[in-house]
Structure 1
Amino acid sequence: MKNLELFKFDVRFQFRHGFYAAYALVSIVYISLLLLAPTSYIEPLSILIIFTDPSVLGFFFVGGLVLLEKDQAIFSTLFVSPIRIHQYLMSKVLSLTLLAIASSLIIFMVIHQHHINYLPFLIAVMLCSIFFTLLGIFLAVRVDSINMFLYTSPLITIIFYLPLLNFFKLSDSIWLYLLPTQAVLTLLEGTFNSVTVLDYFYGIAVFVPWISLVYLLTYRSFKHFLRTKCFS
């Protein structure tokens, strides 16, 4: 019940501060671009948009959320209650992942209708959003302003966009398959083609250690932030 209430609080908070409106506007822009694009470019552009949408928006939106909550001193009262850090992190991840999935689904359903494989699509969006949302929280609790967040975010995220080199045939590096974002691209490409059991296994095998690592780092950073900034 406590988890559900926290989840509802996050959804209301995001709606009240225009996150849903922003996602709706961005989705409309994406759909318009895809409708205007030449037929041969629609598939790769769709993959590129979905690849960047949950990651970029999830990363920056959660950064904005956490920094906004810091400015409003929400943490000082929120964590006096029985809410635990794990519950807070899961609520943020689930609420923003739900938003990312809804936005991505709307885009694909309008553009591609029923001519895609939705299972690898949903897995890719979900894993991508979870990973980058956690990464965004990790950075947000370590900086003091939105400007600092924007300045330092490329230093953390740039490495995870390197698999785009493989996607655009600018590289064929096997080392990029160690990054979770390469698994996202593999699954998204499988949305339009066939996906093997090995592709699913690869995606999960790569993401589990990466998500576990970033969750552990985020949890420790958040715990340190609460101890030194809120309750010191």
Structure 2
Amino acid sequence: MTRLKTAVRWDMRLQLRNGFYYAAAFVAVIIAIVLWQFPKAALPTVLPVFVLGNMMINTFYFMAGLVLLEKGDGVLEGLIVTPLRQSEYLAAKLVSLTLLTVAENVVIVTAVSGFHYNLLLLVAGVGLTACFNILLGFITVARYDSINRFIFPSILVTSTLSLPLLDYVGFWQSPLLYLHPVQAMILLLKGAFQPVATWQVVYGVLYAALWIWLLFKASQRIFYRFIILKKS
């Protein structure tokens, strides 16, 4: 536990030193300004979309940025000879980035809509989505050493993650989308602003948690292969 606390503090300092907090604040202001242009009646519909899109930046891409920074500074190679376990390294990233994105999105939503939302479902939706995106960001970036090589694969991944939005906006609706992990998270975010069925909330929490567990296990194997063994 002491190692994890130290790792979380290190991550937060690294994020602050490299401008991640300032970037998150800047994006939050821009999103809030855009959302203020919508009529109040439209906010329950558009807020989940904006929150989901914002989290793609400060979870998936922030995680990728941190890994590339640590690779460039030789930090990851140094971690191999320290007592910090792979699981603790990943857990520290999950804690630090999830706290950042939960705080940012709660501030955005409150600034735009006041307190007319379900805080518990918002935090659950943002927190679970953040963990999912962070781990997927690590899995995607682990094999790359530069942002240029990472960008194209990341676009493919994030585009695939956006598929459930087609169902949300009514463009393409299919029960098969309930197999997509992001569908679970969209339902939780939707539930923060609109009525949803109890079974959808239960499905959202359990299915999202399952995917996070699977990605955490996969991330440990990816860490061993691409960071420790340095395979390509």
Q: TM-score range by the shorter chain?
A: over 0.9
Contact 2:28 2:108 in 1 (8 A): yes
Partner of 2:100: 99
Partner of 1:27: 28
- Mapped to 1, the partners of 2:166 and 2:197 lie a distance apart of 23
Partner of 1:87: 88
Letter in 2 for 1:157: T
Normalised by the length of structure 1, the TM-score is 0.94
Measure how far apart 1:131 and its partner are: 0.3
Alignment of 1:56-135 (within 5 A): 56-135=57-136
- Mapped to 2, the partners of 1:111 and 1:22 lie a distance apart of 19
Letter in 2 for 1:213: L
Q: Does residue 1:213 correspond to 2:214, yes or no?
A: yes
Contact 2:44 2:194 in 1 (8 A): no
- Overall identity of the aligned pairs, in %: 34
Letter in 2 for 1:147: N
State the number of aligned residues: 230
Contact 2:77 2:228 in 1 (8 A): no
Per-residue Cα deviation, 1:22-61 (whole angstroms, up to 9, x for no partner): 0000000011111122334333221111111123321011
Measure how far apart 1:132 and its partner are: 0.6
- Mapped to 2, the partners of 1:197 and 1:39 lie a distance apart of 26
Question: Could you say what the CA RMSD is over the residues aligned between the two structures, in angstroms?
Answer: 1.5
- Mapped to 1, the partners of 2:211 and 2:72 lie a distance apart of 30
- Mapped to 1, the partners of 2:53 and 2:14 lie a distance apart of 24
Shifted more, 85-94 versus 113-122: the winner is: 113-122
For structure 1, list consecutive stretches of 5 or more residues without a partner in the other structure.
Answer: none
Measure how far apart 1:184 and its partner are: 1.5
- Mapped to 2, the partners of 1:38 and 1:18 lie a distance apart of 33
4+ residue segments displaced more than 4 Å:
none
- Mapped to 1, the partners of 2:82 and 2:54 lie a distance apart of 34
Partner of 2:170: 169
- Mapped to 1, the partners of 2:125 and 2:3 lie a distance apart of 29
- Mapped to 1, the partners of 2:196 and 2:168 lie a distance apart of 16
Measure how far apart 1:9 and its partner are: 0.3
Per-residue Cα deviation, 1:62-93 (whole angstroms, up to 9, x for no partner): 10110110011012222311000000000011
Measure how far apart 1:196 and its partner are: 3.8
Contact 1:117 1:192 in 2 (8 A): yes
For structure 2, list consecutive stretches of 5 or more residues without a partner in the other structure.
Answer: none
